[in-house]
Each structure stands twice: as structure tokens, then as C-alpha cells.
A and B are shown apart, each in its own frame.
Chain A
Amino acid sequence: MLRVGTKRVLGTTSLGVRVPARLYHERVVDHYDNPRNVGSFDKNDPSVGTGLVGAPACGDVMKLQIKVDDKTGKIVDARFKTFGCGSAIASSSVATEWVKGKQMEEVLSIKNTEIAKHLSLPPVKLHCSMLAEDAIKAAVKDYEAKRAKATASGEAATEEKLATA
């Protein structure tokens, strides 16, 4: 009875061969237990870019926000909120860590395969890292769109001032 119990605990088969149990990689568990950068910025803040993406097959939703220094184009801070599996949460957490301190153009080259490798994601969870890559791109795109809009309206206001002066 005790021998059977011990076998189960050690995860051995009847032949005494050790079989590794299927676990999340310790990095994934770490990001899940000690999440970094969870939270939100004010999406109306002009220095904030918001990326909102989803994986419809599993009903996941991921929000990644970046705070950008307008003068230098550097990402000074990042936040995320993800509703999904452990791999999706860890992927977006890693993404917020990696974008901090980088230029916007630089973060566009962050690949999902790098995130997946860092977290040792199994093939079935690769799409979670893809979601994180897409979230980064969406956040940058949103920031740039906001800036373009602000610049356009700023120019229009200046022209108006000159016209009325």
C-alpha cells in the first residue's frame, strides 16, 4: 500500500521509470503568482497607447498599455490586464517587462517565438505568445494614431490662430 502510494507521489510507472508530470514552466508560475505591471493607465492620456486584442477561439482578452515619452519616443512604463489562461497572463506580463525602456520601433520587432521560448510554452499555447506580440503592436499603433490626430488638430489650431491674427 505504501509502495503504491510512494510510486504515485514520485510519478513512476509500474516499470519504475520516472515520468515527468505535465506542469507549467516555473517562469509561467512566477508571472502568475507575482504578476508584474498589472493595472491600467488612463486611455485618454495622450502619452498612452492602448492595445486591446483577443483570441476568440478560447474567449481570451488582453489589454497592454504603454506610456511613451513624447520627446524621445521611449516607452517609460507599461501595464497589462489579461483574462485568459496562465500562459496568456504570463506572456503579456513578460511583454510589459520587455517593452519598458525601449524605443517604439524596437518593440515592434519583439517576436512571439522569443516570448514562448522564455516561458517554455508548449505548442498548444504558442498562440498565447502571439496574442502578446499583437498586443504590443496594437499599443504602438494606437499611440501613433493618437499622436497623428493630435498633431493634425494642433496644426489646424495654429493655422486658425494665424488666420485670425
Chain B
Amino acid sequence: MSKKNLCTPLSSLLRRCLTSIPQHFTSHSSPHIKLSILHRVSPHHRPPHDPNFDFYCSLGFSWKNLCSKSAEEIQLGCWNCHALPHSAPFLVCDSCRCIQPVDGSTDYFQIFGVERKYDQEGENLEGKYKEWQKKLHPDLVHSKSKKERDFAAEQSARVIDAYRTLSKPLSRGIYLLKLNGVEIDEEQTISDPELLAEIMEIRETVEEATDSEALNLILSQMQEKLQNWSNTFGHAFQNRNFEEAKLAIRRMTYYSRVIDEVGKKL
């Protein structure tokens, strides 16, 4: 039986076995009820004489399966009013508007409600970023409790990180690789003669350039190369060819660096 199938009959089961539970719990069947009943019997200890527990056991499904969903629900509920979120990601409570603690398992793509892919053309990341900051900014909570002020600081910092990472192709690419368990080695040294000689020459030209026209020419050349390698990365990543993707990232890093240096001179 899949977990999903377990959930629907569970609600009817709960209603049926509510006779053994104190009267005030039976008055309505909102999500709060499920939480409070199952919360009484936590997954961390076996309540030996609880009639509900024996009932569930007799039905033949493991306690862990039963409680894993409810444990998630409890964690997902607002720390302030215990309301469940209407949708992911859960950064701010829809009911009481309290800012929630950072959930590390929510990745940057989920924060912006976009697909986890390299091509983000057309996605209004900046607009979504501003919308989040309207709800999360620490200035909004300066008169609230320390707990909430800390949550606001962490949550808005995370959204800033997410925006910075996703808005540039290079950092977005590196992040996507990371999500797929592919890390760029910070300490690696290479001796690729072709690439290094090319970069050396370009950097020397930038260093010696005196007029902005020459610099702008180099800038546009570098931006073109960056775009080409960005496309290469996109294809490699889509085909899950991570080695080629890493090589593309390497090129993109070098060209981005040149672009930064030219920018400093202009």
C-alpha cells in the first residue's frame, strides 16, 4: 500500500476511533485534530497502553509510516499559530504572517518557485526577489521577539544568497552541479596550455590597454565567449555529461574573471 493510499482511509479511521478520545477533540475534523491526536503519541516512544496505538498496530501498518507524515506536518506547521502552509516554500506563515526558521532542505530554485534547470530566461527572478523581501525584511520585525528577528535575518539572508546565485549563469551552473553532487575542486591546479596561454595573452592585453575602445572590444569578445560556453554548459548538463559541464564552468570562470578586470579598468 503506498503512503498516499494510507492517508485517505486514515481520516475516516480517525473519525471512527474518536470515541475513545476526550469529547472536545471530536467536535470538528480540521487538520489541527490530526496533529493533536498523533502528536500525543510521538514517534519517539512507544506508549504501552494507548488504545489508539494498539488499534493502529492491529491494522498492520508500521507506526513509523503512520507518524512520518505527521512528524513532517508538525515540523511544517507555523511555530507561532501551528497553521499548516498552503504551499511550498514555507518561509512566512500565511495565517499569522510570522517569519519561519530557515529550512535547509529547500533549495534556491524552490525559493523562487522555478524549475530546477539551467535556462531561466523569462523567469522574473528580480520581481520574485523583491516580493520576498517585502515579507521577510528584518526592518519589518524590529519590534518583534528576538526569535522572530533572528528568523527574519536568516531567512532574508538566504533569499539574498539564492537570488545572487541564480541570477548569474556561472554561479547558477556551479550551484546546479552542487545539487547533483558534483563539486568544483577549489584547490585544483591545471596546466591546460591552450586555455592558459589564451588567458595569459588576454590578461596582458587588458593590462597594457590604455583606451576604453580597446577595452570595450575585449569586453564584447569575452562576453561572446562566455555566452558560447554557457550554452555548452547547458547542453552538457542536460545530457548529464558532468565532466564536460565542469570544463565549461572552468572556461566560464576564466572569461568572467577577465570581464571583471576589464570592468575595473573602464
List chain A positions with a Cβ less than 8 A from chain B.
Answer: 52-59, 61, 63, 81, 83, 126-127, 130-131, 134, 138
Give me 8 other A-B pairs in contact (C-beta within 8 A), A55-B188, A56-B184, A138-B191 excluded.
A52-B200, A54-B196, A54-B199, A56-B253, A57-B186, A58-B257, A61-B203, A83-B199
Residues of A within 8 Å of B199, CB to CB, are 54, 59, 61, 83
User: B189 and A52: CB pair below 8 A?
Assistant: no
* Chain A, Cβ-Cβ closest to B189: A134
Closest Cβ–Cβ distance, residue A21 to chain B (whole Å): 24
User: A83 and B203: CB pair below 8 A?
Assistant: yes
In angstroms, Cα B190 to Cα A127, docked, is 12
In the complex where A61-B199, A83-B200 touch, is A53 in contact with B254 (Cβ < 8 A)?
no
The 8 A CB mask of B195-229 against A (1 = contact, 0 = none) is 11101100110000000000000000000000000
User: B200 and A130: CB pair below 8 A?
Assistant: no
In angstroms, Cα B256 to Cα A55, docked, is 14
Return the contact of A57 from the options B184, B193, B203 (Cβ within 8 A): B184
Closest Cβ–Cβ distance, residue A15 to chain B (whole Å): 21
Is B250's CB within 8 Å of the partner chain A? yes
In the complex where A54-B191, A130-B189, A134-B189 touch, is A81 in contact with B200 (Cβ < 8 A)?
yes
A to B CB contacts below 8 Å, 6 in the list: A52-B196, A54-B192, A56-B254, A58-B253, A59-B254, A130-B189
In angstroms, Cα B250 to Cα A56, docked, is 6
User: B196 and A53: CB pair below 8 A?
Assistant: yes
User: B191 and A53: CB pair below 8 A?
Assistant: yes
The 8 A CB mask of B224-250 against A (1 = contact, 0 = none) is 000000000000000000000000001
Residues of A within 8 Å of B184, CB to CB, are 56-57
Is B115's CB within 8 Å of the partner chain A? no
Is B121's CB within 8 Å of the partner chain A? no
In angstroms, Cα B247 to Cα A56, docked, is 9
In angstroms, Cα B203 to Cα A59, docked, is 11
* Chain B, Cβ-Cβ closest to A52: B196
In angstroms, Cα B197 to Cα A57, docked, is 17
Residues of A within 8 Å of B200, CB to CB, are 52, 61, 63, 81, 83
Closest Cβ–Cβ distance, residue A121 to chain B (whole Å): 13
User: B195 and A57: CB pair below 8 A?
Assistant: no
Q: List residues of B (154-210) whose CB comes within 8 Å of A's CBs.
A: 184-193, 195-197, 199-200, 203-204
Closest Cβ–Cβ distance, residue A18 to chain B (whole Å): 28
Closest Cβ–Cβ distance, residue A144 to chain B (whole Å): 15
* Chain A, Cβ-Cβ closest to B254: A59
User: B191 and A59: CB pair below 8 A?
Assistant: no
Closest Cβ–Cβ distance, residue A111 to chain B (whole Å): 14
In angstroms, Cα B188 to Cα A55, docked, is 6
In angstroms, Cα B195 to Cα A54, docked, is 9
In angstroms, Cα B6 to Cα A131, docked, is 58
* Chain B, Cβ-Cβ closest to A131: B189
Residue in B189, B196, B197 whose Cβ sees the most chain A Cβ within 10 Å: B189
User: A57 and B253: CB pair below 8 A?
Assistant: yes
Residues of A within 8 Å of B185, CB to CB, are 57
In angstroms, Cα B190 to Cα A138, docked, is 11
In angstroms, Cα B191 to Cα A130, docked, is 13
Return the contact of B188 from the options A56, A63, A81 (Cβ within 8 A): A56
* Chain B, Cβ-Cβ closest to A124: B186
In angstroms, Cα B257 to Cα A81, docked, is 17
User: A127 and B187: CB pair below 8 A?
Assistant: yes
Residues of B within 8 Å of A54, CB to CB, are 189-192, 195-196, 199, 254
